[in-house]
Structure 1
Amino acid sequence: MAVEASPDMADAVGSFDPLRPLLTRVAYRMLGSVADAEDVVQDAFIRWLGADRASVREPAAFLRRTVTRLCLDQMKSARSQRETYVGPWLPDPLVEEEPVDDVTLPLMLALERLSPLERAAFLLHDVFGVGFDEVAATIGRDAAAARQLATRARTHVREARPRYKLDRERGLEIAEAFFAASRGGDMDALGAMLAADVSMWSDGGGKRPAAVVPVLGFGTVVRLHRSLAVHFARHGSTFLHAAMINGLPGFVTREADGEFQTTALEIEDGRIAAIYVMRNPDKLRHMH
């Protein structure tokens, strides 16, 4: 027999659910993990259930503050875990038809170098458009300090922000051409797409084979792909679809071990400046 929700529960759900996508975006941008973001948002919902909701004038501000504080608490332990992470750390891939903001994968990596409070101030104000009075109340500082944190963060991440908007269709065309050249072993075609200072970052998390340090420079990246092409010729790599991944053009594949893989390409002046490959199955679980 179905159990009807109480009026109080229905009221809490009704006011919370429209805000869930935004709250999840805030948590994901703070933590870089889809699963952790979902856990934080669910924890915020439990707190919302127990709150005196009648006294909350702005539920969105209250919940955004709750989520941000939960993320700040979680980031303390996350930082120590990153220190023992095997190989380069990349955020969980978000596969989107159209990016919902300008926080691309390179910017998320730059945010990792900020203090938790700098990251919170920058994201809340610069990305989500929150005023400094609310930012200050959220992070437990005064408005002047919150403004200074955001300014300092902005200076640190300036180089990681997109210099110009790449046409989405052109970006996906380059991604598909990169897949064809890298899997087919056409190193001339692949080389023509790469910038001279191209880099490649692979996150296997110690769970699947991946380079444990970034691969830097044109010659090194081409040599690695020449070796990978031999592997792909023997074992295959199935193209599933092109997509925007963390704001960058890329593609999703199923590899010979049956696992998903995402490849995101940072493109500058028509050439690939960086390649980001996610192989860690824990970070791809949400894609199933």
Structure 2
Amino acid sequence: MPADRGQDASSLRLIFDKHTAVMMDERVTLVNIAFRMLGCAHEAEDVVHEAFARWFALSDEARREIRSPVAWLVRVTCRICLDQLGSARARRERYVGDWLPEPLPDDSRWGGTGRNSSGDPAERVALDDSVSMGMLVMLESVTPAERVAFILHDVFDLPHTEIAGIVGRSAESSRQLAASARRHLRSDRRRAVSTHQHRSIVSAFRNACEHGDLDTLIGLLDPQVTVRADGGGKVRAALRPILGPEKTARYFLGLLRNRFARELTEENVNGCPGLVSHADGEVNGIMAFAVRGGRITQIWVIVNPDKLHAWKGSGL
């Protein structure tokens, strides 16, 4: 968050009443909601900043009439996100190459959803998975209303009676939206491996890349493996998906021959084992992986420098 925003927030704590101070303490949760909606950290920050700005623009009398300021902020944050999601498709049609969600390092800020552990586990998505690259990419394929209903119910445990007012539907329609998104997302979660096996396969991938071992690389890849790269037009990146084991293996070996990655380190990316590329002491790329049935099925490469701020210095 920019320093001036932090100063503004500190000043506002002193000016406004106790309810407002409580709301400011909920800011992390609001940013968590917005990030899962939008897949972009700085857009999530902007949305929450706008939601607070709308609260502070209300008259004292209007604020006093709001029974739950935090619930009001959640509704406003989600409605702004809905507007953003509605226009995102048009914006991304102008994006150079593939648009991918922002990769995040391990950080406690992105784990606080306030969700409890009750309910049928078969109807829930694991908390750690709610910000995984695979999940965020899959969420791009559902409608904005489905995305909002799913995230608020399955991740943040809000009842459908509250979600209904946000998406402008009945509670039953909200329930159906979340169920539709859940079915769509669950179809890609079959054959998922344990974190230990995922990490072992990513480690083997790194070793094969560093040793130029083409055959081993190909053996780690699913026959239908796909690579998508996001350079955003800022740096050179594949503009179209790379398909198949041999093309994928040669692509990554080519990156290392061109000294794109002078060092690869194994780090968690959005809560899952991944790789971080370094060149000249700077992070210049992030690789996230989906592993199914013991092989790598998807690789997402993010090299757009605008999406790497969280990996440099103090992060967001």
So what's the TM-score if we normalise by structure 2? 0.80
- Counterpart pick for 2:47 among 26, 40, 48: 40
Whether the 8 Å contact between 2:269 and 2:288 is mirrored in structure 1 is yes
> Residue type of the partner of 1:229?
L
Note the C-alpha offset of 1:37: 0.3
Return closer, same or farther for 1:229/1:115 CA change in 2, 3 Å cut-off. Answer: same
- Counterpart pick for 1:11 among 18, 24, 31: 18
What SS class does the counterpart of residue 160 from structure 1 fall into? coil
* Structure 1 segment 174-213 matched on structure 2, within 5 A: 174-213=201-240
> Residue type of the partner of 1:86?
V
- Counterpart pick for 2:33 among 26, 29, 52: 26
What SS class does the counterpart of residue 200 from structure 1 fall into? strand
- Counterpart pick for 2:304 among 262, 275, 280: 280
What SS class does the counterpart of residue 114 from structure 1 fall into? coil
Please state if 1:114 is matched with 2:139: no
- Counterpart pick for 1:228 among 242, 255, 258: 255
- Counterpart pick for 1:72 among 55, 70, 82: 82
Cα deviation 1:79-120 (Å, max 9, x = unaligned)? 211112111111011122687322222222221122211211
| In structure 1, distance between residues paired with 2:12 and 2:228 | 48
| In structure 2, distance between residues paired with 1:161 and 1:8 | 48
Q: Which runs of 5+ in 2 are unaligned?
A: 1-6, 112-126
Return closer, same or farther for 1:250/1:163 CA change in 2, 3 Å cut-off. Answer: same
Whether the 8 Å contact between 2:104 and 2:310 is mirrored in structure 1 is no
Note the C-alpha offset of 1:162: 6.2
So what's the TM-score if we normalise by structure 1? 0.87
Cα deviation 1:198-222 (Å, max 9, x = unaligned)? 1111111111111111111112212
Between the aligned residues of both structures, percent identity stands at 37
**Alignment size in residue pairs:** 283
- Counterpart pick for 1:248 among 263, 272, 276: 272
| In structure 2, distance between residues paired with 1:262 and 1:71 | 26
| In structure 2, distance between residues paired with 1:27 and 1:6 | 22
Note the C-alpha offset of 1:165: 5.8
Equivalent in the alignment of 1:270: 294
| In structure 2, distance between residues paired with 1:174 and 1:85 | 32
Alignment root-mean-square deviation, CA: 2.6
Note the C-alpha offset of 1:29: 1.1
- Counterpart pick for 2:262 among 237, 243, 246: 237
> Residue type of the partner of 2:28?
P
Cα deviation 1:151-200 (Å, max 9, x = unaligned)? 22223322234654622x44334333322321331223322322222111
Whether the 8 Å contact between 1:208 and 1:279 is mirrored in structure 2 is yes
> Residue type of the partner of 2:75?
R
- Counterpart pick for 1:89 among 92, 99, 102: 99
| In structure 1, distance between residues paired with 2:198 and 2:177 | 34
* Structure 1 segment 149-188 matched on structure 2, within 5 A: 149-161=177-189, 163-164=191-192, 166-167=194-195, 169-188=196-215
> Residue type of the partner of 1:237?
R
